[in-house]
């Protein structure tokens, strides 16, 4: 029956399924009203109906008896079937199963959880990004817009679809004067589009200094070319030719493919999201905070987006900046290395202070501390006494009782030690 219906119509494709097929089936129309990507979902479900040789109404009839498992068995048969003749890849089959389950769910006929279980087969490894590779990609850009796009997405983890919709108003006020500008995106612009479980989810992310620099340069370049100031409601990323329309989802995809080929660096917009997430993991950020930056649902807590909470998140993001930036060859210092350097510097300053206090060299202080860790002050006294034998001008550490006699003999008072003893010198 299903095939006969299709033969009466022209070939159904993703581009026409919403006009030629979906409206004929009320169950499909009702289901699609709950979805975002209607054309793709409808087309995958259409493929299943074609394979099963059943209409949507006939599929729902299989669940008329709630105890019946015929629909589940049919879906399992689809999973097990060899669909090479239909040119259906494993990934398409996975997506088709998801749409079938969704169709039954929104028509109040949930399938058993185990029915149609499949997983994606990842055959291609993720691109392993490096600072050198990203710098090469950035250096091979065509114009200020492209440079801004590369650093922008490698700083903010904003998805390609959102890039085509983000506006200047989503940047915090006076962002050009803020060291790490915040970008606050509403749920309508990110995954889920605020529907169902994605309601009230926001993306709170930030620009690194180099991303901010490139965005400022791009803004100035765009305003010169357009002959006007950009407005808060203007899309940030636009085409680079008259009339400077907003860059589309498709054009952004083609752009990054072109840049990647030009630079010889494998890269996708989603790779940039992984770049940011890796940096966040390295600084030990909490999973919930990382989800806020990536625009994902926060688990086990409310999602605070007050200014104090944003500022707190900004300070944590600051730790990731050295890991995220790549346009210069400045080496990145890890927190551990930085901590060691600070500790070493403080110890060195302390030793210098001791050397100045006892009027001995820094090396003599180190020697005294290594040889007499239990009594370094006595070691320094001995070192000072040894020095006096070779030099008539010297310093001595004496008790308070000895001080009066030495002062009478021309010695000068220098300092009082923590032990209560005094340092005197006969140097002029």
Range scoring the smallest mean pLDDT among 211-225, 291-305, 408-422: 291-305
Q: What angle do CA 410, 411, 417 make, to 5 degrees?
A: 160
Asked if 343 and 335 touch (Cβ cutoff 8 Å), the reply is no
Q: How does pLDDT run across 161-177, given as a tens digit for each residue?
A: 888 889 999 999 999 99
Judged against a pLDDT cut of 70, whether residue 272 lies above it is answered with yes
Report residue 8's pLDDT band, with 50, 70 and 90 as the boundaries.
very low
Judged against a pLDDT cut of 50, whether residue 415 lies above it is answered with yes
Judged against a pLDDT cut of 50, whether residue 298 lies above it is answered with yes
Q: How does pLDDT run across 91-149, given as a tens digit for each residue?
A: 788 888 999 999 999 999 888 888 888 765 555 555 678 899 999 999 999 899 999 99
Nearest to 376 by CA among 401, 396, 355: 355
Mapped to the 3 state alphabet, what secondary structure does 302-336 carry? Answer: CCCCCHHHHHHHHHHHHCCHHHHCCCCCCCCCCHH
Judged against a pLDDT cut of 70, whether residue 353 lies above it is answered with yes
Q: How does pLDDT run across 24-50, given as a tens digit for each residue?
A: 999 999 999 888 778 888 999 999 999
Q: How far apart are CA 390 and CA 412, in angstroms?
A: 20
Report residue 3's pLDDT band, with 50, 70 and 90 as the boundaries.
very low
Judged against a pLDDT cut of 90, whether residue 235 lies above it is answered with yes
What percent of the chain has pLDDT above 90?
Answer: 29
Nearest to 120 by CA among 140, 149, 95, 141: 95
- Residue at token pair 């008329």: 64
Which token pair is 320? 């990731």
pLDDT value of residue 221: 94
pLDDT value of residue 216: 95
Judged against a pLDDT cut of 70, whether residue 276 lies above it is answered with yes
**Structural domains present in the chain:** 2-106 (no CATH), 131-324 (1.10.443.10), 336-425 (no CATH)
Q: How far apart are CA 198 and CA 179, in angstroms?
A: 30
* Residue 167 DSSP class: B
Choice between 390 and 289, residue whose per-residue pLDDT is larger: 289
Regarding beta strands 412-416 and 422-425, do their DSSP bridges make them parallel or antiparallel, or are they unpaired? antiparallel
Asked if 222 and 216 touch (Cβ cutoff 8 Å), the reply is no
Choice between 216 and 81, residue whose per-residue pLDDT is larger: 216
Region 51-62 average pLDDT: 92
Q: How far apart are CA 95 and CA 119, in angstroms?
A: 10
């Amino acid at each position: 029956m299903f095939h006969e219906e299709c033969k009466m119509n022209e070939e159904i494709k993703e581009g026409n399924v919403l006009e030629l097929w979906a409206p004929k089936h009320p169950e499909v129309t009702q289901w699609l009203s709950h979805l975002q990507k209607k054309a793709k979902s409808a087309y995958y479900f259409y493929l299943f109906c074609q394979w099963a040789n059943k209409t949507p109404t006939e599929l729902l009839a299989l669940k008329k008896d709630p105890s019946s498992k015929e629909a589940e068995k049919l879906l399992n048969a689809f999973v097990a079937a060899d669909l090479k003749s239909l040119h259906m890849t494993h990934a398409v089959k996975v997506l088709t199963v998801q749409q079938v389950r969704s169709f039954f769910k929104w028509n109040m006929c949930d399938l058993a959880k185990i029915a149609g279980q499949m997983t994606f087969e990842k055959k291609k490894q993720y691109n392993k990004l490096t600072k050198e590779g990203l710098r090469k990609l950035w250096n091979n850009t065509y114009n200020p817009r492209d440079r801004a796009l590369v650093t922008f997405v490698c700083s903010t983890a904003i998805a390609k679809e959102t890039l085509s919709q983000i506006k200047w108003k989503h940047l915090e006020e006076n962002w050009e004067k803020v060291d790490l500008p915040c970008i606050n995106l509403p749920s309508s612009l990110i995954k889920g589009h605020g529907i169902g479980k994605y309601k009230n989810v926001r993306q709170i992310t930030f620009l690194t200094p180099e991303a901010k620099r490139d965005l400022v340069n791009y803004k100035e370049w765009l305003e010169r070319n357009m002959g006007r100031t950009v407005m808060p409601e203007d899309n940030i990323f636009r085409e680079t030719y008259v009339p400077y329309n907003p860059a589309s989802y498709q054009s952004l995809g083609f752009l990054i493919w072109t840049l990647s080929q030009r630079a010889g660096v494998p890269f996708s917009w989603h790779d940039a999201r992984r770049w940011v997430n890796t940096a966040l993991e390295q600084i030990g950020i909490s999973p919930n905070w990382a989800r806020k930056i990536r625009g994902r649902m926060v688990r086990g807590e409310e999602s605070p987006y007050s200014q104090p909470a944003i500022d707190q998140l900004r300070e944590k993001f600051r730790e990731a900046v050295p890991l995220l930036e790549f346009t210069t060859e400045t080496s990145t210092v890890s927190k551990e290395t930085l901590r060691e350097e600070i500790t070493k510097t403080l110890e060195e300053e302390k030793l210098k202070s001791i050397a100045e206090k006892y009027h001995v060299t820094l090396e003599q202080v180190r020697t005294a501390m290594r040889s007499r860790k239990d009594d370094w002050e006595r070691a320094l006294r001995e070192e000072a006494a040894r020095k006096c034998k070779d030099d008539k001008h010297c310093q001595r550490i004496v008790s308070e009782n000895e001080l009066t006699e030495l002062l009478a003999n021309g010695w000068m008072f220098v300092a009082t030690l923590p032990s209560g003893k005094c340092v005197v010198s006969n140097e002029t």
